[in-house]
Amino acid sequence: MHKRKLGNTGLEVSAIGLGCMGLSFGYGPAVEQQAGIALIRRAFELGVTFFDTAEAYGPGANEELLGAAVQPFRDQVVIATKFGFVDGVPTKGVDSRPETIRAVADASLKRLKTDHIDLFYQHRVDPDVPMEEVAGTVKRLIEEGKVRHFGLSEAGEQSIRRAHAVHPVAALQSEYSLWWREPEHKVFPTLDELGIGFVPFSPLGKGFLTGAIDKDTSFDSSDFRNVVPRFSEENRKANAGLVEVLGSIADGKGATRAQIAIAWLLAQKPSIAPIPGTTKISRLEENLGAAAISLSADDLTAIEAALAQITIVGERYPAHLQQRVDK
């Protein structure tokens, strides 16, 4: 698989990474440990060198799983993890106090069985802690060798600028896909100006863009999508047109919907590295096949024209979580 550089910091990753969250958290019961390890190692065999986790996924369980899986090839991969929630639990609120960042870094290093974190993201902006303090704390961790690169997640333009002024931000991780394109408006120009890479999470619309989810789909009781407005039965039905359009484009390229959705992301910028997640090796192999698909300017124009005829319905977060998205 081709490599990409995330911005101007020299951080090189596989063009497509692996979002590991769903192996332990968020989308129903956690996978059995050996199955999770097998999937992560298969990803590495197929060229993935970029693995994304967080203290909050479990909490801690996902980092432990990833740490165990990559032990045989730790120095050949980039591990990204995150800090920023009270006790590592998103529902408890945000906490990016310097002492918390340091404690999380040390705990993550132990769980990941490593001596350094390649990319350390602030999971969500903390309005009670100045961004300069956050960036300064991570900068000191970098100077100490515990962290290699600094990242932000779901941060807005001003937060990005304030952080970058203290220490170069290697990457911003935010939701971005064919059904959520908000970052294009203010965030992308800022990233281009400052030389910061972009890591789209949920590149397949939390599974919706694959075509495997319809109005009749039922989710496990522990699945996060149960509380996401965009995944209400009514909204899934309303958004089905996007899946149909994606299917017609995919058929024309001899590909799957998931592959077209990921290939579209790769075509947007050379410093974009999406991190689709899955619990199934067959889906992993399908997703990584997107790296071999080249979309021409005409293809991209056709996709743009088709999308212009569709209105996506439903918020991407419930109201109490929407408040945490930095503007």
Strand, coil or helix: what is 32?
coil
Give burial (CB, 10 Å; 0-12/13-18/19+) of 255: buried
- Joined tokens for residue 315: 């918020």
How many H helices and E strands in the chain? 12, 9
Strand 117-122: give its sheet, edge to edge: 18-19, 50-52, 78-83, 117-122, 147-153, 169-175, 197-201
Q: Which of the following is catalytic: 57, 121, 176, 317?
A: 57
Residues 156 and 172: beta-carbon distance below 8 Å: no
**Contact residues for 73 (Cβ-Cβ < 8 A; gap 6+):** 44
Rounded CA-CA distance 275/296 in Å is 22
* Catalytic residue flag (residue 57): yes
Strand, coil or helix: what is 250?
helix
Helices 33-45 and 281-288 cross at an angle (nearest 10°) of 20
Residues known to be catalytic: 57
